[in-house]
């Protein structure tokens, strides 16, 4: 059901891996000039918590909602 998201995450990981032992550049580093921090990556389909904006919060409700992580934002 979520194969499209799996492919997008796989492509994103491939683009951050070093492609040459000699040059030491990744596909991401060439256009942007820096390498991503690998600790920012999350496990596909892991539990995540989304914080409600301050405007949408109600005093007696929880501040966040439990979701399942499927993909990174395009931006």
Q: What is the pLDDT of residues 4-36, one digit of tens each?
A: 888 887 877 776 666 655 566 666 777 777 776
Provide the 3-class DSSP secondary structure of residue 64.
strand
pTM of the predicted model as reported, rounded to 2 decimal places: 0.49
Model confidence at 58: pLDDT above 60? yes
Encode 16-49: b = buried (16+ Cβ within 10 Å), e = exposed.
Answer: beeeeeeeeebeebeeeeeeeeeeeeeeeeeeee
Spans of all domains in the chain: 3-68
- The enclosing H or E element of 14 equals helix 3-16
Would you state the pLDDT for residue 16?
67
* Whole-angstrom distance, CA of residue 67 vs CA of residue 75: 20
Structure tokens belonging to residue 37: 């921090």
């Amino acid at each position: 059901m979520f194969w499209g998201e799996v492919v997008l995450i796989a492509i994103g990981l491939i683009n951050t891996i070093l492609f040459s032992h000699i040059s030491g550049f990744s596909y991401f580093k060439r256009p942007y000039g820096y390498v991503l921090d690998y600790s920012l990556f999350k496990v596909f389909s892991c539990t995540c918590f989304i914080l409600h904006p301050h405007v949408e919060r109600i005093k007696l409700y929880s501040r966040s909602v439990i979701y399942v992580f499927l993909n990174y934002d395009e931006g």
